[in-house]
Amino acid sequence: MVRVVSRRLIQLFVTLIALMTLVFFWLRSLPGGPVDALLGERATPQTRELLTRALGYDQPIWVQYGRFLKNVVTGDFGNSIRTGEPVTDVISRSFPATIELAVAAIIIAVGLGIPLGYLAARYRGRLLDNATIIVTLIGISIPIFFLGYLLKDWLTQGIHFFPPSGRISTGMDNTDVTGFFVLDGLLTREFDASADALWHLVLPAVTLATIPLAIIVRITRASVLDVLDEDYIRTADAKGLRNATIRKRHVLRNALLPVVTTIGLQTGALLAGAVLTEKVYNWGGLGTLITDSISGGRDYPVLQALILLAAVVFIVVNLLVDLSYAIIDPRVRVQ
Amino acid sequence: MTIGAAGCAKSDRGGDDGGKAGGGTFIFAAAGDPKNFDPIFNDDGESFRPIRQMYDTLITHKPGTADLTGGLAESWSNDPTGKIWTFKLRQGVKFHDGTALDATAVCANFDRWYNMKGEAAQSQMIYYTDVFGGFAGSPDAVYDNCKAQDASTAVVAMKKYKGAFPGAFALTAFSIASPAAMKQYGSDTVTQSGDSFSYSAFANEHPTGTGAFTFGGWNKATGEITLNKNPDYWGDKAKVDKMIIKIIKDENTRKQELRAGTVQAIDFPAPADRKALASEGYKVLERPAFNILYLGINQKNNPKLKDLRVRQAIAYALNRAQLVQTKGPGGSAVADEFLPNTVLGYAPDVQKYEYNVDKAKQLLADAGATGLTLNFYYPTEVSRPYMPNPQEIFTVLANDLQAVGIKVNGVPRPWNGGFKDDVQQFGKQDLHILGWTGDYNDPGNFVGTFFGRGKIEFGDQAMTEMFTAIGKADATVDQAAKKAAFEQVNRDLASKWLPAVPIWHAPPALVTTKNVEGLVPSPLTAEEFNTVSLTK
């Protein structure tokens, strides 16, 4: 186990260095840049030159690259070009927003997906199964931003049931402890803030959860069906085990393996989906940060750090998924 | 962000519920983040909005206009050379930190700007560089010195006359800040880290001016800037107790928040939404137009464009009246000149180019330019107040040009991803659309910005006659003579030079709920919110 983890960590390191190099040159090869974005219509040759020099963009690209690598290794990601704050501050402020959203979406997707998938398989060919298949097909094929706007239009405009955007009501004056607003409200006993944040979370989380939910339902269903056909289930049945025991110990446990893999892979999709969901709901997390940093002026330092972070999250989650196999399936442990 | 141990996290909510009693809380949805709150280091409207509520300038604008009136200075005068400016300051004005606004404090601000050290800091002073030419030691510097004649008289001496004054004294970037607070919070330390800058505690946490609101905080996690009523304000005290500027970048979401009743006012509604909102009972406030959209002509790549007749043909080919009607935001008007008619030097009698297909074809034939093919660059991924929908504008203009036999090769480029580079630095285009929102009431700020010197955008770096005429007009001290000189410049721009075709002036709007009173839209998007009140 230790060997597996350490080998994966070395892989992680090499991947990240390669990725950082790619991102550095890729970003700088895009047309336009921070200087133009910052100056807008007001750019004159004079101000442009002053700013280019001040930002260090007049130096050869390999000098810039060397400085960048040195800074990254020492843990210094620089400051945001747009806001002037340290990149670590900018990201640690947006990170909880996205995690809060993603966790809520995962809870919905897994909490509904696995039972639904299981039931669909168990009542194969019946109404519940057919309905599930159709609904999940819609869930997979509907674009997130479209669903987001649709839900928003129905539930915040036609009837003012949910708030249209943001993480908390304006002027709530909530105390920021961890950056997770729902949790913060509980910690500081500002229960109104907690409830308000939870209320704001509903539509975005549902929007973001649809695709993973649909996928989890379908994988669970297919996987349970596979297992139900296995000889060992028949054997278990034949030797007179109770149905509940068969379902729990033999069917679910064996069927979960591909489902867990899927959940891991969905993390990447979830991050991508968060960009769109956050845009629709003015959420203010990493997704918002990515769009702002690209369209609002090629904020190189923030973008570089964000891509690095996304890669780390993705790799770590998949590492955790691999490790969880060992828990679910004892055979993997032996290997 | 601090991580508190679970369970012992304390609520740090303010005990006062200022928002609930008295004037209430006014929530305004803005379209973008501010950068920081040190006026001199900013150059965009989203930063200027909160800054303007917290600070004052020596000279300001009469509400709803671009006309000058006394701000911190009750009156001002200029000597015959145009170089010495004397400001008579209002008495008894105090900064938010309790220190007095007097002539010494005013001079400390001028000296601070002029003596700013470090390229990092200097590179962020866009308006200062533009208006004051440069810093201590630079041969282009306009500023000389500032003396406190007595407590309420500040005398600012310039090295040379500059047409931008007095209008430029009203720029929000030149707001007067508390010298004591600036010293305490190290306002001048702009530090560089990697390839970016960070600003001082003064700029981020302790902005201190004389304005109608004091700084309450900027919650970046929720995108809220809180401003509190300044009970000691020298002018009309704010009618609301608290104002929150909520940042919502998506125009559709701003509209939805307004409809949901969670905000009371929104900036920059989508032009297409204005009618619907008005019919639902919201107040749509159009700002008087102080901007210009133009079709730029680059004379460098295609020699035919050097021929005035070809440029005139382009002007005649465009059905601008119809464009205004179909694509212009409410209140837009066809532009015949490159500045709005409220600015000094606007000439009522310039040559106008009414839509005329035959004339355009004739001119092209005369110039031997039939079958012309032009590369027309237009920006994507952007919406500017003067250009809410570049792609649609391009489509209409391109169709007009095709109708007179000009072949148009449309080249879309993302605003921050090549458009500005290609157009302003490399000059790849033959035609392009671009515009400008005025900063202050001076013809130099419009005409001078575009045509006062050689710009790659317009291709011909040697339009010396035009540069000289504008330079001369800008340097004229006597206001009547300056007016005449700029009127002539505008006539010549239309009939002799035609380096671009003015398209429209398009006023950006604000929308508020029914219960918001007293918000006066400003042509400079420089609204003051102390007059705003909320009725039941």
Name the pLDDT band for B305 (thresholds 50, 70, 90): very high
Q: How many domains does chain B have?
A: 2
Residues B232, B343: one domain? no
**Cβ–Cβ below 8 Å for A160 and B260:** yes
Tell me if B282 is assigned to some domain. Answer: no
CA of B468 vs chain A CAs: smallest distance (Å): 19
Within 8 A of A71 by CB-CB distance, chain B residues are 194
Tell me if B272 is assigned to some domain. Answer: no
Closest residue in chain A to residue B193, using alpha carbons only: A78
Tell me if B97 is assigned to some domain. Answer: yes
- As a residue count, chain A comes to 335
Tell me if B406 is assigned to some domain. Answer: yes
Q: Kindly state whether A99 is in contact with chain B, defined as any CB-CB distance less than 8 angstroms.
A: no
CA of B136 vs chain A CAs: smallest distance (Å): 15
Q: Per mean pLDDT, which range of A34-38, A286-290, B401-405 is the poorest?
A: A34-38
**Cβ–Cβ below 8 Å for A30 and B14:** no
Within 8 A of B435 by CB-CB distance, chain A residues are 41
Residues B213, B305: one domain? no
Has this prediction a pTM greater than 0.80?
yes
Check residue A333 and give its pLDDT. 61
- Distance between CA A177 and CA B245 in Å, rounded? 23
For strand B196-198 and strand B191-193, is the pairing parallel, antiparallel, or unpaired? antiparallel
Name the pLDDT band for B360 (thresholds 50, 70, 90): very high
Within 8 A of B262 by CB-CB distance, chain A residues are 163-164, 169-170
Which amino acid, residue B90?
Answer: R
Residues B82, B211: one domain? yes
Tell me if B262 is assigned to some domain. Answer: no
Check residue B3 and give its pLDDT. 41
Mutation site for B-interface testing, chosen from A55, A172, A173 by largest number of B Cβ within 10 Å = A173
Is residue B47 within 8 A of residue B270, CB to CB? The reply is no
Check residue B361 and give its pLDDT. 96
Residue B371: CB atoms within 10 A of its CB come to: 9
Tell me if B270 is assigned to some domain. Answer: no
Residue scoring higher pLDDT (B194 or B499)? B499
Residues B318, B437: one domain? yes
Residues B240, B320: one domain? no
Residues B464, B329: one domain? yes
Q: Kindly state whether A185 is in contact with chain B, defined as any CB-CB distance less than 8 angstroms.
A: no
Q: Pick A39's closest partner by Cβ from B120, B126, B248.
A: B126
- For B145-189, the pLDDT digits (tens) are 999 999 999 999 999 998 889 999 999 999 999 999 999 999 998
Is residue A229 within 8 A of residue A268, CB to CB? The reply is no
Which distant-in-sequence residues (6+ apart) come within 8 Å of B471 by Cβ?
B452
Is residue B204 within 8 A of residue B186, CB to CB? The reply is no
Q: Pick A55's closest partner by Cβ from B195, B252, B253.
A: B195
Closest residue in chain B to residue A160, using alpha carbons only: B260
**Cβ–Cβ below 8 Å for A79 and B119:** no
Name the pLDDT band for B364 (thresholds 50, 70, 90): very high
Residues B47, B171: one domain? yes
Q: Pick B416's closest partner by Cβ from A36, A85, A157.
A: A36
Residues B345, B198: one domain? no
Mutation site for B-interface testing, chosen from A28, A59, A68, A83 by largest number of B Cβ within 10 Å = A83
Within 8 A of B263 by CB-CB distance, chain A residues are 170
CA A96 to chain centre: 11
**Cβ–Cβ below 8 Å for A37 and B416:** yes
The pLDDT of B441-470, averaged and rounded, is 90
Name the pLDDT band for B51 (thresholds 50, 70, 90): very high
Q: Per mean pLDDT, which range of A48-57, A275-284, B465-474 is the poorest?
A: A48-57
- Distance between CA B189 and CA A117 in Å, rounded? 60
Residues B497, B517: one domain? no
Residues B464, B516: one domain? no
- Distance between CA B326 and CA B378 in Å, rounded? 19
**Cβ–Cβ below 8 Å for A168 and B420:** no
Check residue A5 and give its pLDDT. 78
- Distance between CA A139 and CA A217 in Å, rounded? 10
- For tokens 């929102």, name the residue: B437
- As a residue count, chain B comes to 536
Helix axes A300-328, A87-122, angle to 10 degrees: 40
Q: Domain holding B48: CATH number?
A: 3.40.190.10
Buried b (16+ CB within 10 A) or exposed e, B504-533: bbbbbbbbbbeebebbbbbbbbbbbbbbbb
Residues B446, B362: one domain? yes
Within 8 A of B224 by CB-CB distance, chain A residues are 170-171
- For tokens 């707001």, name the residue: B175
Name the pLDDT band for B194 (thresholds 50, 70, 90): low
**Cβ–Cβ below 8 Å for A41 and B435:** yes
- For B8-38, the pLDDT digits (tens) are 567 777 544 444 446 899 999 998 888 899 9
- Distance between CA A297 and CA B121 in Å, rounded? 19
DSSP reduced 3-state for B481: helix
Check residue A234 and give its pLDDT. 87
Q: Domain holding B413: CATH number?
A: 3.10.105.10
Phi, psi of B404 (to 5 degrees): -100, 10
For strand B407-414 and strand B291-297, is the pairing parallel, antiparallel, or unpaired? unpaired
Closest residue in chain A to residue B425, using alpha carbons only: A45
Tell me if B267 is assigned to some domain. Answer: no
Check residue B195 and give its pLDDT. 63
Mutation site for B-interface testing, chosen from A95, A282, A300 by largest number of B Cβ within 10 Å = A282
Tell me if B283 is assigned to some domain. Answer: no
The verdict on ipTM greater than 0.90 is no
Enumerate domains of chain A plus CATH numbers: 2-73 (no CATH), 95-332 (1.10.3720.10)
Mutation site for B-interface testing, chosen from A26, A46, A69, A177 by largest number of B Cβ within 10 Å = A177
Which tokens go with B332? 């837009």
Check residue A1 and give its pLDDT. 67
**Cβ–Cβ below 8 Å for B1 and A179:** yes
Count how many pairs of residues, chain A against chain B, have C-beta atoms within 8 Å.
Answer: 200
- Distance between CA B298 and CA B459 in Å, rounded? 5
Within 8 A of B2 by CB-CB distance, chain A residues are 177
Within 8 A of B130 by CB-CB distance, chain A residues are 42, 44, 47
Check residue A69 and give its pLDDT. 84
Binding-face residues of A in 207-246 toward B, CB within 8 A: none
Burial-class residue A232 by CB neighbours within 10 Å (0-12, 13-18, 19+): exposed
Which amino acid, residue B6?
Answer: A
Which distant-in-sequence residues (6+ apart) come within 8 Å of B228 by Cβ?
B18, B213, B214, B215, B216, B241, B242
Within 8 A of A298 by CB-CB distance, chain B residues are 416-417
Domain that holds residue B86: 20-246+510-534
DSSP state of B17: -
Residues B448, B312: one domain? yes
Q: Pick A85's closest partner by Cβ from B19, B198, B434.
A: B198
Is residue B459 within 8 A of residue B499, CB to CB? The reply is no
The pLDDT of A247-270, averaged and rounded, is 82
CA of B302 vs chain A CAs: smallest distance (Å): 24
Measured distance between the N- and C-terminal CA atoms of chain B, rounded to whole angstroms:
38
Within 8 A of A57 by CB-CB distance, chain B residues are 195
Which tokens go with B153? 């008289």
Q: Per mean pLDDT, which range of A315-329, B234-248, B519-533 is the poorest?
A: A315-329
The per-residue DSSP string of B33-69 comes to ----S-GGG--SHHHHHHHHHH-B-SEEE-TTSS-EE
pLDDT at B517 over 70: yes
The per-residue DSSP string of B388-409 comes to S-HHHHHHHHHHHHHHTT-EEE
Within 8 A of B437 by CB-CB distance, chain A residues are 41
Name the pLDDT band for B232 (thresholds 50, 70, 90): very high
**Cβ–Cβ below 8 Å for B36 and A84:** yes
Check residue B56 and give its pLDDT. 97
Check residue B4 and give its pLDDT. 41
Q: Which helix (H) or strand (E) holds B224?
A: strand B224-229
- For B389-437, the pLDDT digits (tens) are 899 999 999 999 999 999 999 999 888 777 888 898 889 999 999 999 8
